[in-house]
Amino acid sequence: MTSTRDRAAASPSRGAEALEALYWRTEILQAMYWMRGERLAADVDPLELAMFLAAPPATVHAQLQRLAGDGYVDLVPGRLARYALSPLGAEEGGRSFRDEFDGLTRSGHGECGPGCWCQDPKRAADPCPGRTELARGA
């Protein structure tokens, strides 16, 4: 029978494993989401991804297998050890990517954003209030 003391001693290592798995899930899904969005890779093999993440290939491969088991990535049929984001993985990767890089992916100060009225073709000659040097027709 396992004592309370034995369970408590084992608990920190399980906690550390859970944190490590969470770290790798976030890193891998964000990287795959970004690579797919930039049209660099629709699917990846563990070695390519390990090089991109500057991580040990065995660690990345093990984590990809874990993510596949959890439904975040799919093994690409007909190809050995290539993985693609599943719908769940794309959703989670996109969410964590937005959370992590939100301040870097917005329009900068003085830049017009999506939906700015200067994007309307009927106003092509009107100066944009945010960036007059970029006004269409100027």
Distant-in-sequence contacts of 50-58, Cβ < 8 A, 24+ apart: 53/27, 53/28, 55/27
The predicted-structure confidence for 89-129, as pLDDT tens digits, reads as follows: 999 998 988 888 776 655 554 456 666 766 677 766 666 66
Average pLDDT over residues 29-50: 92
Residue 6: pLDDT over 60: no
> 72 Cβ partners below 8 Å, 6+ apart?
25, 29, 85, 86, 88, 89, 92, 93
Chain centroid to CA 56: 19
CATH 1.10.10.10 occupies which residues in the chain? 4-106
Residue 36: pLDDT over 70: yes
Distant-in-sequence contacts of 52-57, Cβ < 8 A, 24+ apart: 53/27, 53/28, 55/27
Mean per-residue pLDDT over the chain, rounded: 79
Lowest-confidence segment of 33-37, 38-42, 98-102, 117-121 by average pLDDT: 117-121
CB-based contact 32:48 (threshold 8 Å): no
How high is the pLDDT of residue 113?
64
Residue 66: pLDDT over 80: yes
Lowest-confidence segment of 4-8, 15-19, 31-35 by average pLDDT: 4-8
How high is the pLDDT of residue 81?
85
Q: How many CA atoms lie within 13 A of 98 on its CB side?
A: 5
CATH of domain 4-106: 1.10.10.10
The predicted-structure confidence for 72-89, as pLDDT tens digits, reads as follows: 999 998 767 899 999 999
